[in-house]
Chain A
Amino acid sequence: MKKLKILFNGILKENPTFVLVLGMCPTLGVTTSAFNGFGMGIATMFVLMLSNMLISLLKNFIPDKVRIPAFIVVIATFVSIVDLLIQGFVPALSESLGLFIPLIVVNCIVLGRAEAFASKNGVFDSMLDGIGMGLGFTLSLTLIGAIRQLLGSGCDILVFVLAPGAFFVLGFLMALIRHIQQPK
Chain B
Amino acid sequence: MTQLPTPIQHETLPLDRIEEELTHVLQSFREPGELVHRARMSNLVIFCDDADRVDEIQELIPKIVAVHPARVILALHGSTEKEGPVTGSVTAWCSVGEEKAKICSEQVTLYSSGKTADHLIFAVRGLITGDLPTNLWWASPTPPALAGSILNEAAEHAQQIIYDSIGWVDPARGVAATGAWVGSMERSLSRGQWRVFSDVNWRRLKFWRRILTQTLDPNVLPGALDSIAEIEVAHGPHAVVQAWLLVGWLASRLGWSVTEGHMRPGVDISWTVQAPHGSLVVCIDRLPDGPSEVRQVRVRHNAGGKPGVLTVSADGGDRLSVVLEGEEASARTLAIRPQPLDELIARQLSDRERDSVFRDSISFAETFARSVMR
- Real complex partners, A and B? no
Residues of A whose CB lies within 8 Å of any CB of B are none
